[in-house]
Amino acid sequence: MTITRVNPCARWSDVTVFNGIAHFVEVPESDLSADIRGQAKQVFAQAEEMLVSVNSDKSRILSCTIYLTDFANIEAFNEEWEAWLPEGSAPSRACVKAELANPKYLVEIAFVAASC
């Protein structure tokens, strides 16, 4: 079976698709001074772009691993998360407290989604 890599470079691909399942990771890219709500919205917008690139959408997300740098942000993050997801389509998820590669990141999300 074919593995499709979207925008591969030496360290990663924007999305990797195998057997109709897309895998990708998003971190906030446009405004690292934003609070958790702002960074979450950035990640969600970027995720939607990646999903479109593999003929998918946020209703087809199967699983997510959410990395937060501070669990004090979890309530605000969850509010943004619930507002972003279509009703009845919440994926399985794990939420982990972690130190991220850039100290300005407040959130990073690894997505697994069904693609068409």
Which tens digits make up the pLDDT trace of 18-46?
999 999 999 999 899 999 999 999 999 99
Paired with 21 in beta bridges are 18, 114
pLDDT over threshold 80, residue 56:
yes
Residue 40, number of CB atoms within 10 A of its CB? 26
| Cβ neighbours for 115, distance < 8 A, ≥ 6 positions apart | 17, 20, 21, 22, 51, 54, 55, 56, 60
Percentages (nearest 5) of helix, strand, coil residues in the chain:
30, 30, 40
What b-and-e string marks burial along 55-76, b requiring 16 or more CB atoms within 10 Å of the CB? ebbbebbeebbbbbbeeebeee
- The pLDDT value recorded for residue 116 is 76
Which CATH homologous superfamily contains domain 31-114? RutC-like (3.30.1330.40)
**DSSP label of 27:** -
In the chain, where the domains are located: 31-114
pLDDT over threshold 80, residue 97:
yes
Q: What is the mean pLDDT of residues 76-86?
A: 98
